[in-house]
Amino acid sequence: MLRRGKNRGITLVAGALASGGLAVALTAGPASAQAGGPPSSPGLTPGVATVTPADGGSPVADLAYTAANGSVYIGNALASAPSETALGGHLLGGPAVTFEAGSFSLLAVFGRGTDNALWWDHQTAPGTWSGWQSLGGRLTSKPAAAADNSSGTLTVAARGVGGEVWQRSLTSSGWGAWTDEQGLLLAGTAPAVAYDPSGHLLVVAVGVGHDVYLKPEGTEFGFNPLGGKTNDNPAVSVVQGTKSDPNALYAVAFVRGTNNALWTELVTLPLSFSGPAPDSAGWKSYGGALTSGVAAQTQIGGSFTYVFGLGTDNQFWARIGGWPTLGPWQHA
């Protein structure tokens, strides 16, 4: 479990993310469009960023993954004729992808390099990428990333050498320093992050007892248990409205359960903790046979949600739709 301290928080875990070296652990070649990249490295959690155009155009789900040789590919998983861009690099574990803060047209991809530092590659214009750059640190998991467009903040989180959650944020002033967000995460798992409409960063993590925890930053609450069990990377998203209650707002935790099915837990926002666990709907199974952690994202300003994971055929599978049903499992 996560260590707990005063006010339902967790005790400080010693350790720090030391600054990464300048050795080039990622070799990023020129981006190139490809019709179907190589297969994903088995068991590695993908990353996804989604958007539904304001003009009612076709939705886009930019799915990033690490191939078996460690290089990174990204493409629209919903396109009728999929094509992928090769970003090069050499990652340990899967990537994270989000929109750059303040923009739904530019993407940023993050990963753990072979030097265990955080590396990123971001778009400087649609279709144009910066090339891989080091952001330092000492990671022991894949990173997670989320952007809050109202404040213009992009935050990246990962598991540090002592098992704690560390994060670093990009604002208009540039990248801030690494900060220790405490916690004690299960080895081999990464935290998941998402911003709610109030600008609070929601962090979902797996404790050493394989239980799932939720922490809303900027509030009085620390890490609080959601129950459930998983051995893999979780995901978190914010759902705005359902058919039965258009004004409802939920934080949704997604995990690959110990039976390899997709499981979810909905927590009503704003958060109101009245005991060891928050008000919630209870864990629900969405079936499937997953071989990786999950990536999840909700379209901007809606309840339509996209969930991706690797199946037993080492291909991406997805459930896409509104709450509470989603759609059936389908190849992505």
226-271 pLDDT, tens digit each: 989 999 999 999 987 766 677 778 899 999 999 999 999 988 887 7
| pLDDT reported for residue 295 | 97
- Say which residue, 297 or 14, is predicted with more confidence: 297
Judge whether 322 lies within some domain.
yes
Q: Which of 4-8, 33-37, 154-158, 290-294 comes out lowest in average pLDDT?
A: 4-8
- Structural domain boundaries enclosing 48: 37-331
What pTM did the predictor assign?
0.86
Judge whether 70 lies within some domain.
yes
Judge whether 303 lies within some domain.
yes
Q: Which residues contact 82 (CB under 8 A, 6 or more apart)?
A: 35, 36, 75, 76
8 pLDDT more than 60: no
| pLDDT reported for residue 242 | 66
User: What is the Cα–Cα distance from 264 to 240, expressed in whole angstroms?
Assistant: 16
What pLDDT band is residue 278 in, cutting at 50, 70 and 90? low
Judge whether 9 lies within some domain.
no
276 pLDDT more than 70: no
Averaged over 110-137, what is the pLDDT? Answer: 97
Q: How many domains does the chain have?
A: 1
Judge whether 167 lies within some domain.
yes
214 pLDDT more than 70: yes
| pLDDT reported for residue 205 | 96
Judge whether 14 lies within some domain.
no
Judge whether 21 lies within some domain.
no
220 pLDDT more than 90: no
What digits encode the pLDDT tens for the residues 153-212?
999 999 999 999 999 999 999 999 999 988 899 999 999 999 988 888 999 999 999 999
- For position 152, which CATH number holds? 2.120.10.70
User: What is the Cα–Cα distance from 222 to 2, expressed in whole angstroms?
Assistant: 10
Judge whether 25 lies within some domain.
no
